[in-house]
Amino acid sequence: MIYNYSPLKLEAYFNDHELNLELIKKINKNFYRLGQFDINEWDNISKNNIETLKKHFMFELPRIVWSGVSKDGTKKYLVSFKDGLSVETVFIPSEDRNTLCISSQVGCAIGCKFCHTGTMGLSRNLKTHEIVGQLLAVIKDLGTQNRVSNIVFMGQGEPLHNFRNVKDACEIFLHQDGLALSKQKVTISTSGLVPQIERWEEFPDVNIAVSLHAVRDDKRSELMPINKVHDLKRLFSALDKVPQKSSRRIMYEYILIKDFNDGLEDIEGLKKVIKKKKSKINIIPFNDYPDSKFKRPSDEKINWFRQKLHDEGYVTTIRVTRGDDILAACGQLKSEFDKLNLPSSTK
């Protein structure tokens, strides 16, 4: 696929095969900027050059096999690949941005107990073109009037488990001759893979979000088995070395679960481990999914928890639940529409 190549890799391919480098700019303009995905319709490239490109690259997009729209306007897609496997991708429109939550793996190996995706296990990593292809397929579906402004790697999978392909996808998202998304508008969320966090400087200058969810090792290990290998001490040691540019903060994601991690002792724990000036805490009220043993706290408890942290001087937000009626909210993604009894529309 043409969009399997990061900008540097595409240029290297053209050089190796003695192709005209000027075509790269036209590919970027037509394919990424203008959303003209059918190469046969390009009128700024000669027919000979079009045939040459078709000999070297494929331009097909992944197939959207299902989509559903929430009552709040959130749109969830089931995106299928050549081998028949699929992932979920979620488009979240709002007044000031259009965010796409994309997947990096088919399933996930981390097995977080609060996450529906974790019940799938891991099938495989997504290739670069399958990550980028989710965005392109959504752009084609929505049209240019609903252009995506923000990308969050918060869909299925652990992005840092798929380090190289996620890195290449980010380079494609940010490339100024292509999609040209702002580096401040791309966020990678990780469960806390310490060896990969220690390599963060290899990534383009994008945002990092950390799934924290508890500040005691016993509690965090209960929620996230990865903590048994990469405990809180190791995690924060690695995060201290993450380059923080442009005065941006590390975002700490905190799933708030009723009677588990929503007490005063949990707030005191957060104060001990998180540095105010370099951090932002994003409270995520737990989203129910089939067969989950956890429950969402009351709105009063959620607001109390946030206010306590705010009073201590922490930048603290509450993530607005979007798309939960179609299981599109945080922690609800799982590629099994046939078992969820959801309304569907086949593309």
Catalytic positions, written as ranges: 88, 330
* Residues 16, 33: Cα–Cα separation, whole Å: 26
Per the document, the length of the chain is: 347
DSSP assignment, residue 42? -
Cβ within 8 Å of residue 323, ≥6 positions away: 70, 72, 74, 75, 76, 90, 92, 329
State the first-to-last Cα distance of the chain, in angstroms, to the nearest integer.
Answer: 21
Upper half-sphere CA count for residue 309 (Cβ side, 13 Å) = 30
Structure tokens at 88: 């979920």
- Evaluate whether 5 touches 130 at the Cβ level (below 8 Å): no
Residue 170's closest CA among 8, 14, 284, 318? Answer: 8
18: exposed, middle or buried (Cβ count in 10 Å: 0-12, 13-18, 19+): exposed
**Radius of gyration over every alpha carbon of the chain, rounded to an integer in angstroms:** 21
Structure tokens at 224: 């996230």
